[in-house]
Copies of this chain bind each other. A is one copy, B any other.
Amino acid sequence: MADKWIAGVDLGGTTTKIAFITVLGKIVHKWEIPTDNSDEGQNITSNIAKAIDEKLTEIGETKQKLMGIGMGAPGPVDYETGIILNVVNLGWKDNFPLKDSLEEATSLPAAVENDANCAALGEMWSGAGNGAKDLVCVTLGTGVGGGVIANGNIIQGVNGAAGEIGHITVIPSSGAPCNCGKTGCLETVASATGIVRLAVEEIKNSHSSSKLGELFTLNGRLTAKDIFDAARDNDRLAQKVLAEVSFHLGLALANIGNTLNPEKIVLGGGVSKAGNLLLESVKENFAKFAFPAVRNSTEIDLATLGNDAGVLGAAWLIKNKLNQ
């Protein structure tokens, strides 16, 4: 089976990423198709099956080359049954039998997992996790997501809600409202959206001028990248925002560390592209809030797979299931 491939799929609301991946975790072919979420999402799995068949024909391979198809999907998934409980942007009704639908469309063994969990599994398998069996991945994007791996397996939680790291409460009193209905969640200060909110608030409350404030006045908006760029440029206001973000993120990660003492905590998503500027500052706060034995053993690192983490983790599901 060593020369076989796995199809890894990362399903998004507008685009579906597909890759053929070896059992050693190497991407051989990678492409994207638009996600057709019309008609209650009834074309999603058949479009994927079609795209895979076309690609196989194009490269002169047959279906026999594939040992299965793994998919990361944007919503809570019951791993055993492969049912996706509810989704926002895909048209499917609640409790859609995604695994069965994929198996029927592709005639391949399928496995389905939440997309944030797939990203975590991908980093474990061939990214920053480097084979670590105890790993926590935190995705800092428009929101903040997470995946918790213990003994090499994703922790699902009794209601599929394990890994909701973005909803760890870091500001217990008078925090900003979160999309989840709570206030003061990590997501309100460490997502791209949250970082921009903090900066705009700072600018509005500040009486001195700053490059970041000027940029905001000029463009009428800011991005998380603007803020990190300004901090790198020694803009005091941007540095203050960065310090606040790192304080809350470092605190949340330290408390995860105090609970799980994982080998690695991996930071991914668009915000993590701030790189060492963010990482060093988060590490300082982590060290402050982590139990000594955790501080000395749990490492924090940047994700290395970028957008490929999802398809790789999805493929790992099949590798793990078929015990290759």
Contact = CB atoms under 8 A, between A and B. Distances in A.
Interface residues of A, number: 47
Interface in A178-202: 180-182
Interface string A124-154: 0000000010100000000000101011010
A245 to B, nearest CB: 14
**Identical copies in the complex:** 2
A254 interface: yes
* Chain A interface mostly: loop
Given A151-B153, A155-B150, A293-B76, A162 B251 contact: no
B297 A262 contact: no
Interface in A287-306: 288-289, 291-294, 296-298
A159 interface: yes
Nearest to A172: B251
Contacts of A160: 261, 293
A259 interface: yes
A155 B148 CA distance: 12
A260 B260 CA distance: 10
A292 B182 CA distance: 8
B289 A164 contact: no
22 contacts: A134-B155, A151-B153, A156-B261, A157-B261, A158-B261, A159-B296, A159-B298, A160-B293, A161-B291, A161-B297, A163-B259, A164-B291, A167-B258, A167-B294, A168-B255, A169-B254, A169-B255, A172-B247, A172-B251, A182-B288, A182-B291, A255-B255
Given A155-B260, A164-B261, A256-B259, 19 more contacts: A134-B155, A146-B259, A148-B259, A148-B260, A156-B261, A157-B298, A158-B261, A159-B261, A161-B293, A161-B294, A164-B259, A164-B291, A164-B293, A167-B258, A167-B294, A169-B254, A180-B291, A182-B288, A182-B289
